[in-house]
Amino acid sequence: MNIQLDDRRKALIEKLGIANEEKGFQPVAGRILGLLYVSPRPELTFDEIRESLNISKSATSTALNLLMHMGRVDYTTFSGDRKRYFRIKLGNWREVIQEEMEHMVKISYVLQEVLEVRKADNTANFNCNIEEFTSFLQFLYKDFPSLLQRWEKSRGKE
């Protein structure tokens, strides 16, 4: 019933788990993502996840629901089988990055407010740095589709 994971995969789960924690996921959610990345079979049941990671049902349930809510995990079912087969959503990495950029652009709007408040203050150089930063963030956001295109082009060549 338990997934067979060699030491290399176990080590990668930890690495990915930590990387995901740094990205803001709670520990169990980070491990689950890691597991779903390296699992030989990419679709795992609730209990396979729970057993592979030695975590409780509640932790498994909460984390899986969080990950599904965030659009990072989904599941399939098979008729005649009540279990859900959870899998990491990798196909949507473009949207995931897009969302991160949206977050950055939101911050840039706050910085624009800062800039407005600072107009009266006699701190031209300081303000200029803020302006540059917001301008770049917004450029990056707007330029993202073209960035994707350039990436696709760059792959074609090789």
Is 69 a binding residue for DNA by CB under 7 A? The answer is no
Query: How many whole angstroms separate alpha carbon 54 and alpha carbon 66?
Result: 19
Query: How many whole angstroms separate alpha carbon 71 and alpha carbon 73?
Result: 6
Say which residue the tokens 């060549």 belong to. Answer: 157
Query: Would you say 68 or 105 has its CB closer to its own copies?
Result: 105
At position 69, the amino acid (one-letter code) is: H
Is 61 a binding residue for DNA by CB under 7 A? The answer is yes
Residue 126's binding partner out of DNA, its own copies, none, with CB under 5 to 8 Å set by partner kind: its own copies
Residue 112's binding partner out of its own copies, DNA, none, with CB under 5 to 8 Å set by partner kind: none
Query: Would you say 80 or 91 has its CB closer to DNA?
Result: 80
Is 28 a binding residue for DNA by CB under 7 A? The answer is yes
The secondary structure of residue 5, as a DSSP letter, is: -
Minimum distance of DNA from residue 57's CB (angstroms): 4
- Could you say which residues in the range 78-107 bind its own copies, by CB under 8 A? 90-91, 93, 97, 103, 106-107
Residue 90's binding partner out of DNA, its own copies, none, with CB under 5 to 8 Å set by partner kind: its own copies
For DNA (CB under 7 A), the number of binding residues is: 24
Inter-helix orientation angle 27-38/46-53, to 10°: 110
Report the candidate in 48, 55, 51, 20 with the shortest Cα–Cα distance to residue 34.
20
Sheet strands side by side (includes 73-78): 44-45, 81-88, 73-78
Query: Would you say 47 or 113 has its CB closer to its own copies?
Result: 113
